């Protein structure tokens, strides 16, 4: 079940370092939002704030509110473990559990939630692998370790692992940056399909990719090195690429950046 | 692990015949960099091109490796040569006899069965205690403790490894043994029906504590720092991406440990434990101080006294005035030598089997 996501005046810190300043944005359900911007402007940091992965870094903290259908995921009494089960994440570098079998990798999240029924686990594993466009390639070796797949296959395995727990929101941090063009296209197709079931936020350095897969695009920037990153503008993807309101956005997407 | 070997394979693949080209990196990367000269005269398949640096390094590596093997073989050979004359005149079966009587040179009767059983029992007992405790400490230090606390705590554990064996022996018999008496008495009263905790007349007194029970616990404390240090090292190296992958799936701290840290560190933990076992098997002076000699043969009880290979040899060392007599003890040493080899080989096999 896809849900709506709101960030309200979010400030993010690593210890004393103010990494991201005052971000407010809205992500509607069943949509794909792309985060673009130069390296170091805080895209990953904002993404990791949404599912409370930011706080696992010592000294890291967040101010402001992140609302999932109106409920603050940083509210008192909210368990970050529950938040991460509701908001799934795919990382830049594929990170399957190398010693676990392919099937166990996919259902790792379900097992953590206490699902023990073998038939149910197998069924979910197949569904998730089909959703990730990986089923045909691995159906004959589900019991082989996940570390034995190619990089692109591993990344789709990680996507399968993330969707198997049926989260409401799916966060993807440069999911295609380590992949060849064919795997990249496969994953972009996949994102368009996953939109039916999830709300998706994707970080990408690839403008064409942002243009191809996303409904709205957020452009982040640094005013100067050492300054905190900030959200410059967020709008419909077509609008951002055809006719952005901010000069900085236009410079960045036309390559006149810096 | 393959991450580390990958780049090296790439580097050497350039110099090898095409049959051994391995990774995509080597295939994709090398053709562009290949100097034209090399393409003009490709290496003949029978004689791979080896650069001078590689050749020197190879020679150094092979010779130092060979040196170590040579030293070990020489030690084994020395032990064997010293042992043979005594084994020849042994009046009982060396491997199956429980006797150890070397008073009369014309009637040597020595067998290692009791020594072997006692050595193995006390070492395994120590290992069974030390393994879970070390695992707990290593996990606590790497996964739970705040850095401020973890560093001094780890330092203290490491310091434990620096305490001399003799101090452990004295502490064991004078401090630990009396303190353990209530525990020993309780075990003997309530579980005495089990061979492990029964005590026969003639065995060391429970009050004195000169038995395998005390010795095993002291050994456990002695091997704890090794197992902890090795496990800590590997647990710390668990890839950050994997830990975050588990966290992002909604794993609790313990679940993160179970799904990433333990599978990643298991081989290291087992090796560390085997290092500890090796140390326990060979420990001499602490055991020598703690264990009381006894006329009884070993019954399998932790409340028995006796001697291990190492403590038996240490005990008799002052009287090695005759090569044949010494040979009896050297042959015991030889068995200990082989035993540690077997333990190491078994550990390696266990790790290899676990990785498959
Ligand atoms: N663990 C950390 N500790 C301290 N500072 C960090 C940490 N991670 C990131 N930062 C800092 O926070 C800022 C934002 O980093 P972030 O990784 O979010 O950038 P990004 O936009 O994702 O860049 P890229 O496109 O290169 O991935 C950078 O200045 C970075 O140096
Ligand atoms: Mg990033």
* Residue A256 in this model has a pLDDT that exceeds 90: no
Which CATH number goes with the domain that contains B333? Answer: 1.10.3720.10
Assess whether the C-beta atom of A42 lies below 6 angstroms from ligand 1: yes
Question: Tokens standing for B63?
Answer: 């010779």
What residue of A is the nearest CA neighbor of B258?
Answer: A112
Tell me how far the alpha carbon of residue B352 is from its chain's centroid: 16
Asked if A242 and A249 count as a contact pair (C-beta separation under 8 A), the reply is: no
Determine whether the interchain pair B248/A56 forms a contact, defined as Cβ–Cβ distance below 8 Å. Answer: no
Task: Tell me if B49 is assigned to some domain.
Answer: no
Question: What is the pLDDT, as a whole number, of residue B354?
Answer: 63
Residues with CB under 5 A from ligand 2 (ion): A 44
Q: In the predicted model, what is the mean pLDDT of residues A15-26?
A: 94
Assess whether the C-beta atom of A43 lies below 6 angstroms from ligand 1: yes
What DSSP string runs through B81-123?
HHHHHHHHH-SS-TTT---EE-S-GGG-EE--HHHHHHHHHHH
Identify which ligand lies nearest to the alpha carbon of A38.
1
Confidence bin at B1 (pLDDT 50/70/90): very low
Q: In the predicted model, what is the mean pLDDT of residues A176-189?
A: 84
Pick from A19, A220, A229, A257 the residue to mutate for probing ligand 1's pocket: most ligand atoms within 8 Å of its CB: A19
Question: What is the pLDDT, as a whole number, of residue A41?
Answer: 93
* Residue B347 in this model has a pLDDT that exceeds 90: no
Write the DSSP symbol of residue B41: S
Q: Please tell me the distance from the alpha carbon of residue B116 to that of residue B335, in angstroms, as a whole number.
A: 8
Q: Please tell me the distance from the alpha carbon of residue A44 to that of residue A38, in angstroms, as a whole number.
A: 11
What residue of A is the nearest CA neighbor of B355?
Answer: A99
Question: What is the pLDDT, as a whole number, of residue A257?
Answer: 53
Tell me how far the alpha carbon of residue B91 is from its chain's centroid: 34
Chain A CB contacts of B263 under 8 Å are 97, 99-100
Q: Please tell me the distance from the alpha carbon of residue B176 to that of residue A31, in angstroms, as a whole number.
A: 68
Q: Kindly report the nearest CA distance between residue B155 and chain A, in angstroms.
A: 22
Kindly list the distances between the CA atom of residue B181 and the CA atoms of B118, B122, B125, in Å, as whole numbers in the listed order.
21, 18, 18
Assess whether the C-beta atom of A156 lies below 6 angstroms from ligand 1: no
Question: What is the pLDDT, as a whole number, of residue A225?
Answer: 82
* H or E element at residue B211: none
B241 touches A: beta carbon within 8 Å: yes
Determine whether the interchain pair A91/B245 forms a contact, defined as Cβ–Cβ distance below 8 Å. Answer: yes
Assess whether the C-beta atom of A218 lies below 6 angstroms from ligand 1: no
B250 touches A: beta carbon within 8 Å: yes
Assess whether the C-beta atom of A228 lies below 6 angstroms from ligand 1: no
> pLDDT by residue (tens digit) across A48-80?
999 999 999 989 999 999 999 999 999 999 999
- For B4, residues 6+ apart whose C-beta sits below 8 A from its C-beta are none
Task: Tell me if B46 is assigned to some domain.
Answer: no
Determine whether the interchain pair A95/B245 forms a contact, defined as Cβ–Cβ distance below 8 Å. Answer: yes
Q: Please tell me the distance from the alpha carbon of residue A234 to that of residue A215, in angstroms, as a whole number.
A: 11
* Residue B322 in this model has a pLDDT that exceeds 70: yes
Task: Tell me if B50 is assigned to some domain.
Answer: no
Question: What is the pLDDT, as a whole number, of residue A110?
Answer: 92
Task: Tell me if B96 is assigned to some domain.
Answer: no
> pLDDT by residue (tens digit) across B251-304?
999 999 999 999 999 988 998 999 899 999 999 999 999 999 888 889 999 999
Q: Please tell me the distance from the alpha carbon of residue B354 to that of residue B347, in angstroms, as a whole number.
A: 10
Question: What is the pLDDT, as a whole number, of residue B318?
Answer: 87
CA of A36 to the centre of ligand 2 (A): 10
Chain B CB contacts of A53 under 8 Å are 244, 247-248
Closest CA to B343 of B351, B333, B354: B351
Q: Please tell me the distance from the alpha carbon of residue B216 to that of residue B290, in angstroms, as a whole number.
A: 10
Q: Which domain range does residue B193 map to?
A: 113-355
For residues A244 and B19, which has the higher predicted lDDT (pLDDT)? Answer: A244
Question: What is the pLDDT, as a whole number, of residue A29?
Answer: 93
B247 touches A: beta carbon within 8 Å: yes
Q: Please tell me the distance from the alpha carbon of residue A153 to that of residue A140, in angstroms, as a whole number.
A: 14
Q: Please tell me the distance from the alpha carbon of residue B257 to that of residue B131, in angstroms, as a whole number.
A: 17
Question: What is the pLDDT, as a whole number, of residue A187?
Answer: 85
Question: What is the pLDDT, as a whole number, of residue B2?
Answer: 41
Confidence bin at A24 (pLDDT 50/70/90): very high
Overall number of domains in chain B: 1
Asked if A167 and A160 count as a contact pair (C-beta separation under 8 A), the reply is: no
Confidence bin at A200 (pLDDT 50/70/90): very high
Interface probe, candidates A90, A98, A172, A179, chain B, greatest B C-beta count within 10 A: A98
Task: Tell me if B55 is assigned to some domain.
Answer: no
Question: What is the pLDDT, as a whole number, of residue B45?
Answer: 62
For residues B30 and A55, which has the higher predicted lDDT (pLDDT)? Answer: A55
Asked if A47 and B213 count as a contact pair (C-beta separation under 8 A), the reply is: no
Assess whether the C-beta atom of A41 lies below 6 angstroms from ligand 1: yes
CA of A19 to the centre of ligand 1 (A): 7
Q: Please tell me the distance from the alpha carbon of residue A221 to that of residue A253, in angstroms, as a whole number.
A: 12
Q: Over chain B, what is the mean pLDDT? A: 85
- Radius of gyration for chain B, computed over Cα atoms and rounded to the nearest angstrom: 27
Question: What is the pLDDT, as a whole number, of residue B356?
Answer: 56
Asked if A8 and A73 count as a contact pair (C-beta separation under 8 A), the reply is: no
- Which bin fits B63, alpha (ψ -120 to 50), beta or left (φ > 0)? alpha
* Residue B61 in this model has a pLDDT that exceeds 70: yes
Assess whether the C-beta atom of A40 lies below 6 angstroms from ligand 1: yes
Chain A CB contacts of B267 under 8 Å are none
Give the CA count within 13 Å in the CB-facing half-sphere of B163. 21
Assess whether the C-beta atom of A155 lies below 6 angstroms from ligand 1: no
B99 touches A: beta carbon within 8 Å: no
What is the model's pTM? 0.81
Question: Tokens standing for B148?
Answer: 């401020």
Q: What SS3 class is residue B263?
A: helix
CA of A46 to the centre of ligand 2 (A): 9
Task: Tell me if B98 is assigned to some domain.
Answer: no
B248 touches A: beta carbon within 8 Å: yes
- For B350, residues 6+ apart whose C-beta sits below 8 A from its C-beta are B270
* Residue A88 in this model has a pLDDT that exceeds 90: yes
> pLDDT by residue (tens digit) across A217-231?
999 999 888 889 999
Q: In the predicted model, what is the mean pLDDT of residues B115-133?
A: 96
Q: In the predicted model, what is the mean pLDDT of residues B215-229?
A: 95
Which residue of B239, B241, B249 is in closest CB contact with A109? B249
Which residue of B147, B248, B264 is in closest CB contact with A53? B248
Percent of chain B beyond pLDDT 70?
A: 86
Pick from A43, A49, A50, A226 the residue to mutate for probing ligand 1's pocket: most ligand atoms within 8 Å of its CB: A43
Question: Tokens standing for A146?
Answer: 């996940």
Q: Kindly report the nearest CA distance between residue B90 and chain A, in angstroms.
A: 52
Task: Tell me if B152 is assigned to some domain.
Answer: yes
Chain A CB contacts of B248 under 8 Å are 51, 53, 84, 88-89, 91, 162
Assess whether the C-beta atom of A113 lies below 6 angstroms from ligand 1: no
Q: Over chain A, what is the mean pLDDT? A: 91
Q: Edge-to-edge strands of the sheet including A32-36?
A: A71-72, A60-68, A5-14, A17-27, A229-236, A216-222, A32-36, A199-203, A169-173, A87-90
* Residue B28 in this model has a pLDDT that exceeds 80: no
Which ligand 1 atom is nearest residue A42's CA?
18
């Amino acid at each position: 079940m896809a849900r709506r996501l709101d960030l309200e005046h979010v400030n993010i810190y690593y210890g004393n370092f103010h990494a991201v300043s005052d971000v407010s944005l809205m992500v509607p359900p069943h949509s794909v939002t792309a985060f673009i911007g130069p390296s170091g402007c805080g895209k990953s940091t904002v993404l990791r704030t949404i599912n409370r992965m930011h706080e696992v870094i010592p000294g890291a903290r967040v101010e402001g509110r992140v609302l999932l259908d109106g409920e603050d995921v940083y509210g008192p009494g909210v368990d970050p473990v529950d938040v991460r089960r509701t908001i799934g994440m795919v990382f830049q570098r594929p990170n399957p559990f190398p010693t676990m079998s392919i099937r166990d990798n996919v259902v790792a999240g379900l097992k953590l939630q206490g699902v023990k029924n073998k038939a149910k686990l197998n069924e979910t594993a197949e569904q998730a692998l089909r959703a990730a466009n990986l089923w045909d390639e691995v159906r004959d070796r589900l019991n082989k370790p996940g570390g034995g797949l190619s990089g692109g296959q591993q990344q789709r395995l990680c996507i399968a692992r993330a969707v198997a727990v049926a989260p409401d929101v799916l966060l993807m941090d440069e999911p295609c940056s380590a992949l060849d063009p064919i795997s990249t296209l496969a994953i972009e197709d996949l994102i368009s399909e996953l939109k039916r079931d999830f709300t998706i936020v994707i970080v990408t350095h690839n403008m064409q990719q942002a243009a191809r897969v996303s409904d709205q695009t957020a452009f982040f920037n640094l005013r100067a090195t050492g300054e905190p990153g900030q959200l410059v503008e967020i709008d419909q993807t077509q609008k951002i690429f055809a006719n952005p309101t901010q000069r900085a956005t236009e410079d960045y997407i036309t390559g006149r950046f810096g | 692990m393959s991450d580390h070997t990958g780049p090296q394979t790439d580097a050497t693949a350039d110099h090898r015949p095409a049959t051994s080209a391995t990774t995509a990196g080597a295939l994709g990367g090398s053709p562009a960099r290949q100097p034209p000269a090399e393409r003009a005269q490709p290496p003949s398949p029978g004689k791979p091109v080896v650069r001078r640096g590689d050749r020197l390094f190879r020679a150094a590596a092979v010779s130092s490796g060979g040196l170590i093997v040579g030293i070990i073989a020489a030690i084994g050979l020395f032990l064997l040569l010293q042992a043979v004359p005594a084994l020849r005149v042994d009046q009982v079966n060396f491997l199956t006899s429980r006797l150890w009587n070397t008073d009369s040179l014309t009637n040597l009767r020595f067998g290692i069965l009791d020594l072997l059983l006692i050595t193995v029992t006390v070492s395994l007992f120590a290992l069974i205690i030390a393994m879970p405790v070390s695992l707990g400490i290593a996990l606590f230090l790497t996964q739970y403790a705040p850095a401020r606390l973890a560093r001094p705590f780890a330092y203290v554990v490491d310091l434990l490894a620096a305490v001399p064996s003799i101090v452990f022996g004295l502490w064991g018999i004078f401090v630990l043994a009396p303190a353990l008496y209530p525990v020993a008495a309780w075990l003997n009263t309530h579980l005495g029906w089990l061979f492990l905790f029964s005590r026969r007349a003639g065995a060391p007194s429970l009050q004195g504590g000169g038995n395998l029970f005390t010795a095993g616990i002291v050994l456990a404390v002695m091997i704890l720092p090794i197992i902890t240090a090795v496990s800590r090292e590997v647990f710390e190296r668990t890839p950050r991406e994997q830990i975050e992958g588990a966290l992002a799936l909604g794993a609790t701290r313990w679940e993160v440990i179970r799904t990433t840290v333990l599978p990643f560190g298991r081989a290291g933990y087992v090796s560390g434990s085997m290092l500890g076992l090796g140390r326990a098997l060979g420990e001499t002076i602490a055991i020598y101080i703690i264990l009381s000699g006894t006329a009884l043969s070993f019954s399998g009880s932790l409340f028995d006294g006796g001697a291990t290979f190492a403590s038996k040899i240490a005990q008799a060392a002052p009287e090695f005035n005759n090569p044949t007599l010494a040979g009896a003890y050297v042959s015991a040493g030889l068995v200990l030598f082989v035993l540690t080899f077997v333990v190491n080989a078994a550990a390696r096999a266990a790790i290899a089997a676990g990785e498959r």
